[in-house]
């Protein structure tokens, strides 16, 4: 079973604090906040269809594409490097039309049923991007930045949490990790930053985002110590 981190219990808050040590409105990490705020605001106002309205579609694509670029997904080996913002129309269309129940999922509500919906979105994304094959890293970074419902499965997070693949077994293990550390994770309250003013909003980081930061720092520290 992955996520063998019992020896690190009670270090979650300190690791997340390390991740946010240099948190600034114009720093790379804040790209998550602005992307998450943007897409979440349309869900909260029950107006997801407006994401693809002619007057809004370009902004929707720019929000998603810059977040992904800022988070390392437009490196030389990525097919996205060869694409303009118009390529993201297909992804935004999927986001706006997908089962709205997905917006209510977080790690504390993971179950076989909700995980099935997460994997269904991943499958729909893969279909949407054909003939390209999105990696687990790209898939989960999109799902994190838009919905906030899964951690980003990059090399640092996977190394930190002892996992390899985005699947049901791994997501259930992450849910188990949350349950084992529920009190500490639930005590952490981080609000997103607002674009422009750089001040905090009333919107809070999801539990998946908190665990994402924790796993990233653990993995980063492991690789740095080698």
Q: What is the pLDDT of residue 116?
A: 98
- Domain assignment present for 15: yes
- Domain assignment present for 1: no
For 68, the 3-state DSSP assignment is: helix
- Domain assignment present for 90: yes
Domain containing residue 147? 6-225
Task: Report how far residue 81's alpha carbon sits from residue 68's, in angstroms, rounded to the nearest whole number.
Answer: 11
**24-71, pLDDT tens digit by residue?**
999 989 999 999 999 999 999 999 999 999 999 999 999 999 999 999
- Domain assignment present for 179: yes
Helices (H) then strands (E): counts for the chain = 10, 2
Cα 169 to Cα 145, 154, 163: the distances in Å are 22, 17, 10
- Domain assignment present for 89: yes
For 196, the 3-state DSSP assignment is: coil
Structural domain count of the chain: 1
**78-135, pLDDT tens digit by residue?**
899 999 999 999 999 999 999 999 999 999 999 999 999 999 999 999 999 999 999 9
């Amino acid at each position: 079973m992955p996520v063998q981190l019992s020896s690190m219990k009670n270090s979650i808050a300190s690791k997340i604090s390390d991740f946010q040590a240099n948190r600034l409105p114009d720093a790379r990490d804040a790209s998550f906040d602005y992307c998450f705020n943007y897409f979440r605001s349309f869900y909260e106002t029950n107006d997801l269809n407006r994401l693809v309205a002619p007057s809004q579609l370009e902004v929707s694509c720019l929000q998603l594409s810059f977040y992904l670029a800022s988070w390392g997904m437009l490196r030389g080996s990525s097919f996205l490097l060869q694409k303009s913002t118009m390529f993201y129309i297909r992804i935004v269309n999927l986001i706006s039309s997908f089962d709205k129940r997905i917006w209510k999922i977080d790690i504390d509500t993971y179950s076989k049923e909700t995980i099935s919906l997460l994997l269904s979105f991943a499958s729909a994304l893969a279909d949407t991007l054909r003939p390209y094959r999105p990696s687990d890293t790209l898939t989960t970074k999109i799902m994190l930045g838009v919905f906030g419902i899964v951690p980003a499965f990059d090399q640092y997070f996977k190394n930190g949490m002892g996992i390899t693949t985005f699947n049901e077994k791994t997501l259930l293990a992450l849910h188990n990790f949350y349950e084992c550390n529920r009190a500490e994770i639930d005590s952490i309250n981080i609000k997103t930053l607002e674009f422009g003013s750089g001040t905090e909003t009333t919107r809070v980081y999801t539990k998946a985002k908190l665990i994402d930061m924790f796993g990233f720092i653990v993995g980063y520290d492991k690789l740095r110590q080698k």
